[in-house]
Copies of this chain bind each other. A is one copy, B any other.
């Protein structure tokens, strides 16, 4: 750890990218040997996964590993990079469920295959073809995550002891996603339920569980693992929530050139975020009527987006969420001031928190 933390993290990100590139190149060859018809599928996953992304989950896993006393090794980079494939599955399926057309400024997987269907004048429904391709490529990416972890070159005992957190993390994200689609289908929204969904769907899975995963790679169960689990939960849960709340703000107020999605897309989708739950809690009758009219209208124009944005600001929900983010981030950082966290890991985690919160690139 002789580098400054931001350089050290940038270096890990480069190694993760290189390992993902290598892994996907190998799998692309393998699929191509089964049938050339599979090459567009492999290419789509390559384009989707290798083009952008902050690699937050691998980076948090790396910090968990170093924080709990692990020593840098190439096999660890491959093991943590697998979390990016898991995230790939979540995004591919999420885009399909949300009917999102774009991701990181590129067509989402189902849209990409819809367009291939149209371009090649294939028979049947282009939308069904796109949806089926996205379901299968999401599944494949989930299996590839396992495969990348299994073949990472970590020791058998590292692998075996990392699996239970790895499984738990995956069950939690599916559970969170299910709670989310259920919430979208309810007539009313609640701040408490939205907070829980944010916690499961994104908070735990982005920060806390990757840190725990790294801890398991570093330490056998008998060796003070529980101490690190506790510290990393105290750091990871509030930071993960702050991260999700920030995502809520970006979905409404974010710059499309940064988010890769059209401005106000969450408003058109009618996405039931914590931010919107808080807005609805505070809205007066007139504001409620405007929300009822515009929120979730797929065809909403810029003016409609602007009037919803105005309500989110006028009710004080935006400011409240911003304060909450600030508070949660401070609570998280405070949890790192413990003797168990070596200074190098402390710097890495502080820096990474700032990257996650969009304060450093």
Decide yes or no whether A200 CB sits under 8 A from chain B: yes
B30–A171 touching, CB < 8 Å: yes
Taken residue by residue from 109 to 138, chain A's Cβ proximity to chain B (1 for < 8 Å, 0 otherwise) reads as 000000001000011100011011101111
* A150 and chain B: residue at smallest CB distance: B163
A174–B139 touching, CB < 8 Å: yes
User: How extensive is the interface on chain A, given as a class?
Assistant: 35 or more
B147–A171 touching, CB < 8 Å: yes
Taken residue by residue from 58 to 80, chain A's Cβ proximity to chain B (1 for < 8 Å, 0 otherwise) reads as 00000000000000000000000
Decide yes or no whether A219 CB sits under 8 A from chain B: no
Complexed CA–CA distance, A122 and B188 (Å): 10
Interface residues of A in 135-162 (CB under 8 A from B): 135-140, 142-144, 146-147, 150-151, 156-157, 159-160
B171–A124 touching, CB < 8 Å: no
Which residue of B135, B142, B147, B159 contacts A96 across the interface (Cβ within 8 Å)? B135
Taken residue by residue from 13 to 31, chain A's Cβ proximity to chain B (1 for < 8 Å, 0 otherwise) reads as 0000000000000010011
Complexed CA–CA distance, A147 and B196 (Å): 24
Complexed CA–CA distance, A41 and B176 (Å): 12
B117–A185 touching, CB < 8 Å: yes
Complexed CA–CA distance, A27 and B174 (Å): 13
Complexed CA–CA distance, A276 and B97 (Å): 33
B140–A142 touching, CB < 8 Å: no
B89–A135 touching, CB < 8 Å: no
Which residue of B99, B124, B181 contacts A185 across the interface (Cβ within 8 Å)? B124
Which residue of B41, B123, B171, B178 contacts A143 across the interface (Cβ within 8 Å)? B171
Complexed CA–CA distance, A62 and B132 (Å): 32
Decide yes or no whether A230 CB sits under 8 A from chain B: no
A156–B146 touching, CB < 8 Å: no
Q: How far is the CB of A49 from chain B (nearest CB, A)?
A: 16
Decide yes or no whether A34 CB sits under 8 A from chain B: yes
Decide yes or no whether A187 CB sits under 8 A from chain B: yes
Q: A164 contacts which chain B residues (CB < 8 A)?
A: 150-151
The 3 closest A-B pairs by CB, nearest first: A122-B185, A140-B174, A97-B132
Of the A-B pairs whose beta carbons lie under 8 Å apart in the complex, a sample of 6, sorted by A's number, is A27-B171, A97-B131, A133-B178, A136-B177, A143-B167, A156-B160
